[in-house]
Structure 1
Amino acid sequence: MNSSDFLRFLKTRSSVREYSGEPLDPEDIDYILAAARTAPSAGNREAWDVVIVTYEDAREELALAAFEQVHIREAPAVFAVCANYVRSMSHYGERGILYAVQDATIACTYMMLAAHARGLHSCWTGAFNEDSVRETLGLPQHVRPVALLAVGRGTPPLEPMERMPVDEHTHRETW
């Protein structure tokens, strides 16, 4: 893949909130997880974990925890990506909390791009009640849910979303 193909690939990915409900193939889930496993992490601690949620009742509970965002219920799979503080704090102390969140977000990004590479659609959801997600998934205290990644076959938007010009984000040398 050349750099033009890569940029085109990125530009064709979009958040999708309408899904057919068709189950994911186990190979798709394995591919997404294999891609996440290649994500860089602080000190190679891999301070992330994921709970794959396919049962309808659990997706319904997650949708409620996500302030009734329907796409969480409608997607055939939700990857609940979590920061595992113990893995990074054992090496980095308090700073490891930040590193675990960073590791989880990078892994989730790789999962989202892997889904796109498989012709699937996804939607990263960060708005949710952490305690409700924690309870639904039985998460231990040293694990923090960071994102709910809905994945499935869906209906992408007809028009790409407007993006800010890159120079509105860019500072050189200093702010």
Structure 2
Amino acid sequence: MNLSDFGQFLSGRSSVRQYEDREIEPELLETILKLGARAPSAGNVESWDIVVVRDPSVREFLSDAALNQEHIAHAPVVLVVCANYVRSMARYSERGILYALEEASIVATYLMLGAHAAGLATCWTAGFDDDQVRDILKLPNHIRPVTLLALGYGAEAAISPARRDVQEHIHQDEW
């Protein structure tokens, strides 16, 4: 893949909130999860975990916890990508909290790109009540949910929103 192809690939991915009533094949889901696991990690500590949610009733509870965002209930799979502080703090002390959050975010990004390459759609969902998600999924105290990643076959076209010109974000040598 050349740079132009990669740019087109990235431009073709966007958040999708409508999904077909179609299950994701277990082998395909496993492949996508393995792609997520290829994400870089500080000291190769891999301070992240994923809860794979297929159960419709659990997805409904997660939808409620996500400020009633219905796509969470309607996606056939929700990948709850979590930061695992214990793994990173054991090696990096307090700085490990940041590393765990970063790593979970990178893993989620790899999952989205892998899903896109497989013809699936995703929606990164960060608006949710942490404590409710923690209770629903019985997460240990040292685990923090970072995103609820809805995953499925898109029932709508992915439309990329307009973006700021990249130069609005770039600073040379200093702010």
2:173 counterpart SS class: coil
Assess if the C-alpha contact under 8 Å between 1:62 and 1:73 holds in 2. Answer: yes
CA shift digits 1:26-64 (9 cap, x unpaired): 012111111111100111110000000000000000000
Segment of structure 1 superposing worse, 89-98 or 148-157: 148-157
Aligned-residue offset at 1:158: 6.5
Listed as ranges, the matches of 1:152-171 within 5 Å are 152-157=152-157, 159-171=159-171
- In 1, Cα distance between equivalents of 2:141 and 2:160: 39
CA shift digits 1:120-150 (9 cap, x unpaired): 0000000000000001111000000000000
Supply the AA of the counterpart residue of 1:27: E
- In 1, Cα distance between equivalents of 2:31 and 2:39: 13
Assess if the C-alpha contact under 8 Å between 1:65 and 1:128 holds in 2. Answer: yes
Name the counterpart of 1:109.
Answer: 109
Name the counterpart of 1:47.
Answer: 47
Assess if the C-alpha contact under 8 Å between 1:89 and 1:97 holds in 2. Answer: yes
Q: 1:20 to 1:137 in 2, by over 3 A?
A: same
1:104 counterpart SS class: helix
Aligned-residue offset at 1:156: 3.7
Aligned-residue offset at 1:160: 2.8
TM-score, with length taken from structure 1: 0.98
Name the counterpart of 1:143.
Answer: 143
Assess if the C-alpha contact under 8 Å between 1:56 and 1:73 holds in 2. Answer: yes
Q: CA RMSD in A?
A: 0.9
CA shift digits 1:87-127 (9 cap, x unpaired): 00000000000000001000000000000000000000000
Which runs of at least 4 in structure 1 moved beyond 4 Å after TM superposition?
Answer: none
Name the counterpart of 1:33.
Answer: 33
- In 2, Cα distance between equivalents of 1:111 and 1:28: 12
1:147 counterpart SS class: strand
- In 1, Cα distance between equivalents of 2:125 and 2:77: 13
Name the counterpart of 2:84.
Answer: 84
Aligned-residue offset at 1:159: 4.3
- In 1, Cα distance between equivalents of 2:100 and 2:21: 32
Name the counterpart of 1:173.
Answer: 173
TM-score, with length taken from structure 2: 0.98
- In 2, Cα distance between equivalents of 1:139 and 1:129: 13
Structure 1 alignment gaps of length 5 or more: none
